[in-house]
């Protein structure tokens, strides 16, 4: 599970890096898309952390 998750993260990171180069050519619109993508990733991380804390408290 961890290996698959890391592979997924690395793939997303590669896509992110590749799109950032394309976004620089597109200008402000691409930068906005990149910012939204980063915000979505941050929200997902926060949700995962919240669920881990919630389930660990639930088990206790």
**pLDDT in tens for each of the 60 residues of the chain?**
456 766 777 676 666 655 555 545 556 666 677 788 888 889 999 999 898 888 888 765
* DSSP letter assigned to residue 60: -
Question: Residues 23, 31: contact at Cβ < 8 Å?
Answer: yes
- 21: tokens are 């180069």
Looking at residue 56, its pLDDT comes to: 85
Q: Which runs of consecutive H residues, i.e. helices, occur in 1-60?
A: 2-26, 28-59
The count of structural domains within the chain is: 1
Domain assignment of residue 13, given as a range: 2-59
Looking at residue 27, its pLDDT comes to: 62
Looking at residue 4, its pLDDT comes to: 72
pTM of the entire predicted model: 0.45
């Amino acid at each position: 599970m961890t290996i698959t998750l890391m592979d997924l993260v690395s793939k997303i990171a590669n896509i992110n890096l590749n799109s950032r180069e394309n976004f620089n050519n597109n200008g402000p619109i691409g930068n906005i898309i990149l910012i939204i993508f980063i915000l979505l990733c941050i929200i997902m991380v926060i949700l995962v952390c919240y669920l881990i804390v919630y389930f660990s408290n639930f088990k206790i």
